[in-house]
Amino acid sequence: MRLSRYRSAAVKIGVPREIKSDEYRVALTPAGARELLQRGHEVLVETGAGDGSAFPDVAYEAVGAKIGRSAGVVWLDSELILKVKEPISAEYGLLRYDQILFTYLHLAANAPLTQALAESGAACIAYETVETDARSLPLLAPMSEIAGRLAAQAGAYFLEKPLGGRGLLLGGVPGVAAGNVVVLGGGMVGYNAAVIALGLGANVTILERSIDRMRHLEETLSGRFTLLMSSSLQIEESIVDADVLIGAVLIPGALAPKLLTRQSISRMKNGSVFCDVAIDQGGCSETSHPTTHSEPVYTVEGVTHYCVANMPGAVPVTSTKALTNATLPYIEAVADYGLAEAVARDPALARGVNVLDGKVTYEAVADAHGLEYAPLEDVLPLSPV
């Protein structure tokens, strides 16, 4: 059945439990489930899916959602699958050609997943590439806010000597200088990292390439930080003095640019901390590789690297609510109208479709893996059939 791609009076929506390491979020709150149920759709939640976010099964049942006893049941009985993180290998075989998958995908950094999704034939929508005409990323924004704030906290924490850091209190005390935080990128992640670092009392420097964005940051943060034009030379000069370095660069849907080399990392202070928030998109340093909340750090050239690939998963109560707040209008659109009409109505949602009918429909993903790019309008009819 392919009705889920087009208009359908009622859609079966499935919410599996996240099984990626140290992932405690769930894709839909009970409040979100109730909104979908009131629109005439069905919601099936895997048992225990909301436990990590403090939403027990009874909370979903209280609003009318059904509880599925296993992931297999949820995937099998659902037309629209809602997740937080991309499917891992154990889930590849659960996705079918007649389903829509709506989740964070980060495909540019994951060739095996891209191949698996293409082979499934399913329609795969990535939260992180839903992009408005004004170039905002409404479904990435809430997690970027959280990740930026967590990065500053993590940097301060791992500066402590028992954890392998320099033994520096980031905010200093009267008579003792505060630490230096350098943020690469002044977007949503960088701004929020700066807000928390400033709140901790650190000296903050943001490196950014957009003049317009720099003007906005200057106005928003009232000049309480140093703002510099980003260049390879400026990055090399700035990170030498950094106690905490935060990688906050983003090219929507594409691999993160490698701004840092092993040699440049080696120039940083011994015991300093590098938080690479761009790790979901491959990381912005050649020394970066993904870590987990269970084993969050490793050391290269005397620098502690914090490269957790699902940072907001550490605060799932906050993250799950923020995610549902952002995604629910788009979920409602897909469920109410079917994918074809929903993307015809909303170009932002159309930009979120990364894989469809075995074809890669997001150009940056195709480029990252040397695959053929198929424009969405060539694959999906833009009106119901």
CB under 8 Å to 70, separation ≥6 — which residues?
Answer: 46, 47
Instruction: Count CB-CB contacts under 10 A for residue 382.
Output: 12
Q: Name residues whose C-beta falls within 8 Å of residue 85's C-beta, 6 or more positions apart in sequence.
A: 18, 20, 23, 25, 103, 104, 310, 313
What is the rounded CA–CA span in Å between residue 321 and residue 106? 21
What letter would DSSP give residue 279? G
- CATH architecture observed for domain 3-129+315-379: 3-Layer(aba) Sandwich (3.40)
Cα–Cα distance between 378 and 332 in angstroms, integer? 25
23: its two tokens? 């992932």
**pLDDT on residue 253:** 81
- Minimal CA–CA distance to 382: which of 344, 336, 333? 344
178 bridge partner residues:
none
Positions annotated as catalytic residues are: 106, 280
Place of tokens 């999906």: 380
pLDDT at 1: 36
The list of the chain residues with pLDDT below 50 reads: 1-3, 384-385
User: Which amino acid, 46?
Assistant: E
Domain positions in the chain are 3-129+315-379, 141-309
- Residue 2 has a pLDDT of 44
How large is the angle between the packed helices 316-345 and 30-38, nearest 10 degrees? Answer: 30
Alpha-carbon span 240 to 274, nearest angstrom: 12
Looking at the chain, how many residues does it have?
385
Cβ count within 10 A of residue 125: 28
Whether 3-129+315-379 and 141-309 share one fold: the answer is yes
DSSP tag of 90: G
Q: Which fold has domain 141-309?
A: Rossmann fold (3.40.50)
Q: Look at residue 8 in the predicted model and tell me its pLDDT.
A: 56
Enter the DSSP assignment of 39. Answer: T
* Model confidence, pTM: 0.91
Q: How many CB atoms lie within 10 A of CB 213?
A: 17
How far apart, in whole angstroms, are the C-alpha atoms of residue 341 and residue 323? 24
Asked if 164 and 140 touch (Cβ cutoff 8 Å), the reply is no
The span from the CA of 321 to the CA of 24, in Å, is 12
> pLDDT exceeding 70 applies to what percent of the chain?
97
Report how far Cα 103 is from the mean position of its chain's Cα atoms: 9
Amino acid identity of residue 258, one-letter, is K
Identify whether the C-beta of residue 20 lies closer than 8 Å to the C-beta of residue 310.
yes
**Residues ≥6 apart with Cβ < 8 Å to 120:** 92, 95, 96, 97
Place of tokens 């099984």: 19
Q: Which residues, including other chains, have CB under 8 Å from residue 339's CB and lie 6 or more apart?
A: 4, 5, 6, 100, 123, 125, 353, 380
